[in-house]
Amino acid sequence: MAFKYISSKENPYFKELIKLKKGYSANSLFLVEGKDIVFEAYKNSCLKEIICVEENDVTKQFNNIKTTYISKNLYKEISSFQSLNQKIIGICKKEYSNNLGKRCVYLDNLQDPGNVGTIIRSSLAFNFSSLVLSLDSVSLYNSKVIQASKGAIFHLPIIHNDLLSICRGYNIYLTCIDGKDIMEVDKLIEPFILVFGNEGKGIKKEYLVLGEKLKINMSNFDSLNVASAAAIFLYKYSQN
Amino acid sequence: MAFKYISSKENPYFKELIKLKKGYSANSLFLVEGKDIVFEAYKNSCLKEIICVEENDVTKQFNNIKTTYISKNLYKEISSFQSLNQKIIGICKKEYSNNLGKRCVYLDNLQDPGNVGTIIRSSLAFNFSSLVLSLDSVSLYNSKVIQASKGAIFHLPIIHNDLLSICRGYNIYLTCIDGKDIMEVDKLIEPFILVFGNEGKGIKKEYLVLGEKLKINMSNFDSLNVASAAAIFLYKYSQN
């Protein structure tokens, strides 16, 4: 297989990579970085191409995958890391299912890619069936989302959609700073959608009438990171 | 009060700010960014100076605090944000107490500042008495730690120290991927130190003999972000 080498910022292929890094993809392609997660993509048949700085032991593992070499300077521009510790990026594609299952997590207008990736990881760890991102949330294809998910993105059905388009037939549970204390709610009734809101503003007002509000009782400081709150909810309502 | 205006990268004051951004401070000074957290510092008597791009309604609130104006380009270099939405940075100093109380959280070699800040926030929310960062963890004064703590840093005693130097007289609980399931442990016996380990490697091997290992039972994918795991532990063992 022929290898390409790119060192110009004007190269059209490189320009496409920059778009992918930002989460813009017409073909649902996305980037993952670092050998562990690239290998995870490979195992799940999601790895389409590899980009790296130089040939090494890692790249040799993927000898049936199209490989492009790029200069260090270009690599740094598409990398999510400031150091050059990770020297391999995979271009991935995943087939998305619209089957949300009985235990769906919904993220309403989440903006921090680290939070979204972390919640994807927790959703998988605690056996939720799918995750839906609102249309105004950070893109699922944002490289930091993928990175923070640590490969969980390859295992969980995840789509972008609007809550109003998917809520029919589901019990809706809304995580808030008021509402019923989760200590008093042993179980969520399936099929359900568990909704988490924006980092600063919480869940959109118009959604608050759709179901039951639930809260975490805090001793102090009444404020939790949304991914931390999600971890507590997802653990509490995990299915063994 | 006279206002300074700085537009040169060679300015010694600016160079000091760059050091503070990286978390190096001989005087335990640190930076916070954004009006909410600067105001939180002010309320807690921790705000020493202000740096901003231009005078605005926010800066007028702090009229007894030394204010330095800097150019947009310099501001971007000390800012933790890529956009210029936040236009105010506070230089803060906090008096640290060595009294760790009965419910201490210990972070062993944590490297991600977002994780550390998030765990500080959760520790305060769930009424832990202090947080200790190992000497090889990210600096408590790193601007992203402060930012992710959302002001919790001003309320919780936090220091850097080694576990072996502080563990005497404490029950040690070690969070791991093996050990006793926390479903079977209703309560931690005070005074205790609850230890969380490095993002990739977990807790240092030599510490694992110091106490009881505890784990979160996961259905799937045996992997959680450390701040998510911490949220679950801290909620479970919160004190109302």
Task: Give dist(CA A144, CA B224) in Å, integer.
Answer: 16
CB contact under 8 A, A125 and B219: yes
The answer to whether the beta carbons of residues A135 and A108 sit under 8 Å apart is no
The answer to whether the beta carbons of residues A80 and A32 sit under 8 Å apart is no
pLDDT confidence bin for B206, thresholds 50/70/90: very high
Instruction: Delimit the CATH 3.40.1280.10 region(s) of chain A.
Output: 103-236
Higher per-residue pLDDT: A194 or A44: A194
Spelled out in words, what is the top-level CATH class assigned to the domain B103-236? Answer: alpha beta
B229 in reach of chain A (CB within 8 A):
yes
Tokens 């709610």, residue located: A185
Return the pLDDT at A121.
95
Return the pLDDT at B182.
96
Segment B110-125 shows an average pLDDT of 96
CATH entry 3.40.50.1820 includes domain B4-93: no
The answer to whether the beta carbons of residues A43 and A27 sit under 8 Å apart is no
Residues of A in contact with B216 (CB under 8 A): 235
Return the pLDDT at A94.
81
Tokens 């479970």, residue located: B236
Instruction: Delimit the CATH 3.30.1330.30 region(s) of chain A.
Output: 4-93
pLDDT confidence bin for B55, thresholds 50/70/90: confident
Express each pLDDT in A103-133 by its tens digit: 999 999 999 999 999 999 999 999 999 999 9
Mapped onto helix, strand or coil, the DSSP state of residue A210 is coil
The set of residues, in sequence order, having a beta carbon less than 8 Å from that of B218 and lying 6+ positions away, is A125, A126, A238, B224
The set of residues, in sequence order, having a beta carbon less than 8 Å from that of A81 and lying 6+ positions away, is A33
Which of A126, A224, A238 has its CB closest to that of B121? A224
Return the pLDDT at A19.
87
Which of B222, B228, B235 has its CB closest to that of A227? B228
The answer to whether the beta carbons of residues B210 and B108 sit under 8 Å apart is no
**ipTM summary value:** 0.85
Both tokens of B51, joined, read 């740096």
Which of B118, B121, B223 has its CB closest to that of A121? B223
**Nearest CA distance, A4 vs chain B (angstrom):** 33
Task: Give dist(CA B189, CA A188) in Å, integer.
Answer: 31
Which of A155, A220, A222 has its CB closest to that of B221? A155
Both tokens of A184, joined, read 């008093």
Segment B78-93 shows an average pLDDT of 80
A and B: number of Cβ contacts within 8 A: 101
Both tokens of A197, joined, read 């809101």
Segment A79-100 shows an average pLDDT of 80
Express each pLDDT in A173-207 by its tens digit: 999 999 999 999 999 999 999 999 999 999 999 99
B223 in reach of chain A (CB within 8 A):
yes
Which of B121, B218, B232 has its CB closest to that of A232? B232
Both tokens of A170, joined, read 């589901």
A150 in reach of chain B (CB within 8 A):
yes
Mapped onto helix, strand or coil, the DSSP state of residue B66 is strand
Burial A66-79 (b: 16+ CB within 10 A, else e): ebbbbeeebbeebb
A127 in reach of chain B (CB within 8 A):
yes
B208 in reach of chain A (CB within 8 A):
no
Segment A160-177 shows an average pLDDT of 96
Does B2 score more than 60 pLDDT?
no
Question: What is the percentage of chain A residues whose pLDDT exceeds 70?
Answer: 94
Average model confidence (pLDDT) across chain A:
89
pLDDT confidence bin for A221, thresholds 50/70/90: low
Higher per-residue pLDDT: A11 or B85: A11
A230 in reach of chain B (CB within 8 A):
yes
Segment B207-214 shows an average pLDDT of 97
Residues of B in contact with A218 (CB under 8 A): 125-126, 238
CB contact under 8 A, A225 and B227: yes
Tokens 């060679």, residue located: B10
Question: What is the percentage of chain B residues whose pLDDT exceeds 70?
Answer: 94
Return the pLDDT at A37.
87
Tokens 């017409």, residue located: A26
The answer to whether the beta carbons of residues A206 and A180 sit under 8 Å apart is no
Does A234 score more than 80 pLDDT?
yes
**Nearest CA distance, B121 vs chain A (angstrom):** 6
Q: How many CB atoms lie within 10 A of CB A5?
A: 8
Segment B105-134 shows an average pLDDT of 96
